[in-house]
Amino acid sequence: MSDPSTGSGTTTGSATDAVARRSRWRWLRRLWQLSTGRFGIIVVLVVLATAVTAGLWTPFDPQQVEISNRWAAPGWPHLLGTDGSGRDILSLIMAGARTTVFVAIGAGVVATVIGIALAALGALTARWMRESVAVFVDILIAFPVLIIAMMISAVWGGSLAVVIWSVGIGFGVNIARVTRPELRRVLHSDFVLAGRASGLTPLQNLMRHLLPNVAPVFIVQLSWAMAVAVLAEAGLSYLGFGAPVTEPSWGLLLAELQQYITIHPLSVVWPGLAITITVLGLNLLGDALRDATDPTLSRGRDRLHPPRGAIRHVPEVVA
């Protein structure tokens, strides 16, 4: 029996630190190694950077009407051309990115708060409470997001807040619906019991064992909610329930340009592309995040990322 006090404990302190540091950031590295993750990160960063830039500078004033220069073809100085009132499409898309980011983050926050609250209420409380929450969630889930948005905007009028709240509520319910059973499953797992047996308080157990194990499911749902928020903003604005016409928005731009799709088919492509790529990027990022944070999906036993061209370890099964 080796003596614990003379173990390698003191000499390997720094090595342990390095290991801890590496494992803390390894998910980020793994995310970057996944092609979907890389694409998602780049898209999200580009959209964020565009939104920030648009707050300070756009090539033209996005609302500046220039009748003499209607339907300019892409070129200089209007890189993506102009619309039917001579506004610069690139500037409109850049300004619209701000709206998109605002809506996506807003809806994400609302969905997270509602989703986690409902999931926790539905999984961790007394039985009668759990079951009423489950029924409540099932009822709410029957309302499509679009209907919720129309209901809200019928009462308070169209605005970005309508989009945020309707998508946030709609997807918060979705998150709760998917996260709740997952939370129940993890709650009854042996390692949560083992955590209690090690002397963890319920709150510590929640933070260390429960939530981290539910996170993958939650992350995918959240990224989906944010992607749908982008789509919903475009869709609702297109239908006139979302952004007011004075607000720059991809959906409004799309709605305006598609009326002339037969005459100027190229111009409608730009807001459409912006929406599609952003939604795709968010979805792929969510999926890749789930994969990257799940250690059981990692390849190899010791080295996570062997050099390019090296034969990857196959996880061996030790008897």
Give the residue with the Cβ less far from other proteins, 53 or 201. 201
Q: Which of 142, 263, 314, 318 binds other proteins (CB under 8 A)?
A: 318
Residue 212 within binding range of other proteins, rule CB under 8 A: yes
Give the residue with the Cβ less far from other proteins, 20 or 311. 20
Distances in whole angstroms, Cα of residue 117 to Cα of each of 4, 131, 165, 236 = 45, 15, 16, 27
Q: No. of H helices and E strands in the chain?
A: 11, 0
Give the residue with the Cβ less far from other proteins, 77 or 315. 315
Q: Which of 204, 273, 299, 306 binds other proteins (CB under 8 A)?
A: 204
Q: Which of 30, 78, 209, 290 binds other proteins (CB under 8 A)?
A: 209
User: Nearest distance from residue 30's CB to other proteins, in Å?
Assistant: 13
Q: Which of 75, 99, 72, 73 is nearest to 86 (CA)?
A: 72
Q: Which of 35, 201, 259, 276 binds other proteins (CB under 8 A)?
A: 201
User: Nearest distance from residue 236's CB to other proteins, in Å?
Assistant: 38
Residue 301 within binding range of other proteins, rule CB under 8 A: yes
Contact 239, 147 (CB under 8 A): no
User: Nearest distance from residue 180's CB to other proteins, in Å?
Assistant: 16
Residue 203 within binding range of other proteins, rule CB under 8 A: no
- Torsion 53-168-144-178 (CA) sign: positive
Instruction: Tell how far CA 177 is from the center of its chain.
Output: 18
Q: Within 59-78, which residues bind other proteins (CB under 8 A)? A: none
- Per-residue contact flags (x/-) with other proteins for residues 33 to 52, judged by CB under 8 A: --------------------
CA dist 214 and 224 (Å) reads 16
Residue 318 tokens, joined: 């030790």
Q: Which of 151, 193, 245, 261 binds other proteins (CB under 8 A)?
A: 193
- Torsion 132-134-135-141 (CA) sign: positive
Q: Which of 295, 299, 306, 312 binds other proteins (CB under 8 A)?
A: 295
Residue 178 tokens, joined: 């998917």
Distances in whole angstroms, Cα of residue 46 to Cα of each of 96, 107, 241 = 13, 20, 27
Ordered DSSP codes for 196-209: HHTT--HHHHIIII
Give the residue with the Cβ less far from other proteins, 187 or 280. 187
- The span from the first CA to the last CA of the chain, in angstroms, equals 23
User: Nearest distance from residue 2's CB to other proteins, in Å?
Assistant: 5
Give the residue with the Cβ less far from other proteins, 70 or 184. 184
Q: Within 8-27, which residues bind other proteins (CB under 8 A)? A: 8-10, 12-13, 15-17, 19-20, 22-23
| Residue 87 C-beta-side C-alpha neighbours within 13 Å | 19
Burial track 85-121 (b if 16+ CB lie within 10 A, e otherwise) = ebbbbbbbbbbbbbbbbbbbebbbebbbebbbebbbb
Which stretches of the chain bind other proteins, using CB under 8 A?
Answer: 1-2, 4-5, 7-10, 12-13, 15-17, 19-20, 22-23, 189-191, 193-202, 204, 208-209, 212-213, 293-296, 298, 301-302, 315, 317-319
